[in-house]
Chains A and B, each alone.
Chain A
């Protein structure tokens, strides 16, 4: 009896996944648990294991297809078995939607605007409002191909900047001559240089720039989210710093406990996340989202943190962080960060944050302007520890300070509110004591 291979449901909010690559091809023998395909949600990439042993007797979608979850993507069985019974019906989007050019987006089935905790997905209409690529008339395109000219470098004089035949001719009259090989490479997407180094200025293959690398699905998502955030929020950043001595002392204390039973390693970032959580629990106006001219303040601190992974930025969310002790929070942070780096974090943990922290301190950044994780209304950037002159009764002393950069959406929060929140964090940091916090529940 043949077994269908289902596109798995990766978390509650994921409706569709992209089939990135088949790891087996029809006719291959597979064992249960073998990796047969690689799939990607808008948040992360996953490996798909075979549900049964046998032969991969058929596949229903191609690499790059966007497939609704719980759709049959292939069949495991014995050679000769009929696979038609498993073929998804024609009206499923799997057959029609290809994501070769446009970034995918989660299905509109998740009504983000009404559930205050969900991050707003990119809607189709929004994706299309992104400025369109340059248009080229069919005649111009044909001519450009004939001459081996890339239209990238040509500014169009047709309606709406459309590249027309005359533009190609004008360009060719002044453009450098290309070697035969260079022409072939330009057709394959290599980019024209300013000038050629060959005889008489001929453009040679070595003069050409490498073809552009298309954004990965994940990169496209990051790109559109960032642009949307900057376009839709009135962002400005407040910078402050807090004495770091209490944090450094706590860190020293924790290091000393290493090896003791029940020891949990708590680093500076964990402490800052913890302090920020406590601050947010008292600041509902900062722990909030702005959606359709309404501010949704959250009772829970669902704190998100920017995580640098090999595939790009991921932002895991620790739900109800205000209920966690410092060691619990530290453990959660490490687990999520590791899963994000490994690419096996649940998509459910990648959405629904109420506030985000981005820590670039370990990279020596002194201050920066974090971009708000929309529709949240604020994001905290944690910066490096550095010496700062402080006036004391004994004169000017240099004291370790940690930098904090808070970006707020001025649509939802005024500067003073943001400043007060930042001040609160500075106070919490300067009075931080491990002994009192470690027992906090």
Chain B
């Protein structure tokens, strides 16, 4: 009899298991594939590893801007892939070590819930007072003719490419599609994005996304927005553009980056009647499902498809099982797009403020107001935009684009999490010279 069974060893599941283990609870963790889940194996970490290599390659090519002359750099995909594997191995071992230290039993097998508190894996049954479902998500396959045919890449297979494509057509202009566009365009691939919506990166501040689009266009990325894909055939994507005109674009590779779907097959949700909404497990802010003793966190809930949100939700669920009751707060969940230039956001967008009828003022400054940005980003653009509540001057949202912005985002997260007013931010000392000073300047500029 366990205190907790966790199904899924991604950042939602393994962090929750470790947290419960540290509380001296008897915990068992199942995963049918790998420790670390999508994030560590086929998501955040491998993507960022490849992006780093692309970044270095790009910097080498631009080294002349900083007074350095080199011979033409070469991108060795085999070595880059080998490094990616090494990074994944290192980090996975780190997670395994933490699980071991927290005395979490790990079983690498698919687990099925056969009844309340009972899980079956490899023919054995396991009992627990609590079950946390953290099975995550997988690339979605939309109902487009030919999109599931052989040779069409998804994010997982794209990360395993052993050669640099000469051309790549990406279906989907969301976060995943944009990161791959940035990666391969930096490596010289001719990238075309076909997106159904009129804007890229829905949900992100539109000033930021228009700068991002410009930045990627400089890398020769072509955008077909407002275009509905009709069929994928013979390495060609056929689509109707916003005027209804039939068009097509051919690529050596085609990447389906249309989104992600929750992974619940084989989990046995139907055995106990867990409520779902379009496949996503419905949860409360405490992490509870409709069935007592069954909890869920992360992508499988469809609430916020980000690794750190999954972790936070998992910890909230464990605290509600064994510790101090608490609720999940989504007001200050940061999000980053690791393109080059990168995008970092937290809090409300202008569209959300308008929706919620919150009166706000906008203060936007180029990142060049911070000396360090100019020093380190020859000829590059960056922007910090803050939204401030009109009545009380509290920081509502911070939206940034430009090098380093993902690393200064945490400051903004803390400010929003603590509901600081811009006049409180003014009292905080920022290190000089750093790019973070642009954030402070934007707050001062807001009044």
Residues of A within 8 A of B331 (CB): 206
Chain A CB count within 10 A is highest, among B394, B417, B418, B420, for B418
* Cβ-neighbour of A182 out of B327, B389, B417, B419 (below 8 A): B419
- Contact status B418-A202, CB under 8 Å: yes
Interface residues of A in 180-227 (CB under 8 A from B): 180-182, 184-185, 197-199, 202, 204-206
Query: Once bound together, how far apart are the Cα atoms of A205 and B329, in whole Å?
Result: 12
A430 within 8 A of B: no
**Shortest distance between the CB of B369 and any CB in chain A (Å):** 24
B424 within 8 A of A: yes
Query: Once bound together, how far apart are the Cα atoms of A288 and B389, in whole Å?
Result: 60
Residues of B within 8 A of A185 (CB): 392
Residues of B within 8 A of A180 (CB): 394, 418-421, 424
Residues of A within 8 A of B326 (CB): 197
- Contact status A184-B421, CB under 8 Å: yes
Please name the residue on chain A nearest to B414 by beta carbon: A199
Interface residues of A in 265-322 (CB under 8 A from B): none
- Contact status A199-B417, CB under 8 Å: yes
Please name the residue on chain A nearest to B394 by beta carbon: A181
Interface size on B, residues (CB 8 A): 13
**Shortest distance between the CB of B237 and any CB in chain A (Å):** 45
- Contact status A179-B327, CB under 8 Å: no
Residues of B within 8 A of A179 (CB): 418-420
Residues of A within 8 A of B424 (CB): 180
Query: Once bound together, how far apart are the Cα atoms of A197 and B320, in whole Å?
Result: 13
Chain B CB count within 10 A is highest, among A180, A182, A197, A205, for A180
Residues of B within 8 A of A182 (CB): 419
* Cβ-neighbour of A199 out of B327, B394, B418, B421 (below 8 A): B418
* Cβ-neighbour of B392 out of A181, A197, A202 (below 8 A): A181
Secondary structure of the B contact surface, majority rule: loop
- Contact status B418-A198, CB under 8 Å: yes
Query: Once bound together, how far apart are the Cα atoms of A182 and B424, in whole Å?
Result: 13
Please name the residue on chain A nearest to B417 by beta carbon: A199
**Shortest distance between the CB of B225 and any CB in chain A (Å):** 36
Interface residues of B in 402-447 (CB under 8 A from A): 417-421, 424
Residues of B within 8 A of A204 (CB): 329, 419
Query: Once bound together, how far apart are the Cα atoms of A185 and B327, in whole Å?
Result: 22
Query: Once bound together, how far apart are the Cα atoms of A11 and B417, in whole Å?
Result: 58
Please name the residue on chain B nearest to A184 by beta carbon: B392
Query: Once bound together, how far apart are the Cα atoms of A341 and B418, in whole Å?
Result: 48
Query: Once bound together, how far apart are the Cα atoms of A181 and B389, in whole Å?
Result: 10
Please name the residue on chain A nearest to B328 by beta carbon: A197
**Shortest distance between the CB of A176 and any CB in chain B (Å):** 13
* Cβ-neighbour of A197 out of B327, B389, B418 (below 8 A): B327
- Contact status B329-A197, CB under 8 Å: yes
**Shortest distance between the CB of B155 and any CB in chain A (Å):** 33
**Shortest distance between the CB of B413 and any CB in chain A (Å):** 11
**Shortest distance between the CB of A184 and any CB in chain B (Å):** 5
Cβ contacts A309-345/B at 8 Å (1 or 0 each): 0000000000000000000000000000000000000
- Contact status A198-B417, CB under 8 Å: yes
Interface residues of A in 144-192 (CB under 8 A from B): 179-182, 184-185
Chain A CB count within 10 A is highest, among B389, B392, B417, B421, for B392
**Shortest distance between the CB of B172 and any CB in chain A (Å):** 34
Query: Once bound together, how far apart are the Cα atoms of A206 and B418, in whole Å?
Result: 12
Query: Once bound together, how far apart are the Cα atoms of A182 and B331, in whole Å?
Result: 15
Cβ contacts B312-329/A at 8 Å (1 or 0 each): 000000000000001101
Residues of B within 8 A of A205 (CB): 394, 419
Residues of A within 8 A of B327 (CB): 197
Please name the residue on chain A nearest to B418 by beta carbon: A179
Query: Once bound together, how far apart are the Cα atoms of A204 and B332, in whole Å?
Result: 12
Please name the residue on chain A nearest to B421 by beta carbon: A180
- Contact status B329-A181, CB under 8 Å: no
Chain B contact residues, CB within 8 Å of chain A: 326-327, 329, 331, 389, 392, 394, 417-421, 424
Given contacts A180-B418, A182-B419, could you give 16 more A-B pairs where the C-beta distance is less than 8 Å?
A: A179-B420, A180-B420, A180-B421, A181-B392, A181-B420, A181-B421, A185-B392, A197-B326, A197-B327, A197-B329, A198-B329, A198-B418, A199-B418, A204-B329, A205-B419, A206-B331
Chain A contact residues, CB within 8 Å of chain B: 179-182, 184-185, 197-199, 202, 204-206
Q: Closest 6 interchain pairs by CB?
A: A179-B419, A181-B419, A181-B394, A184-B392, A180-B421, A180-B424
28 cross-chain CB contacts under 8 A: A179-B418, A180-B394, A180-B418, A180-B419, A180-B421, A180-B424, A181-B389, A181-B392, A181-B394, A181-B419, A181-B420, A181-B421, A182-B419, A184-B392, A184-B394, A184-B421, A185-B392, A197-B326, A197-B329, A198-B329, A198-B417, A198-B419, A199-B417, A202-B418, A204-B419, A205-B394, A205-B419, A206-B331
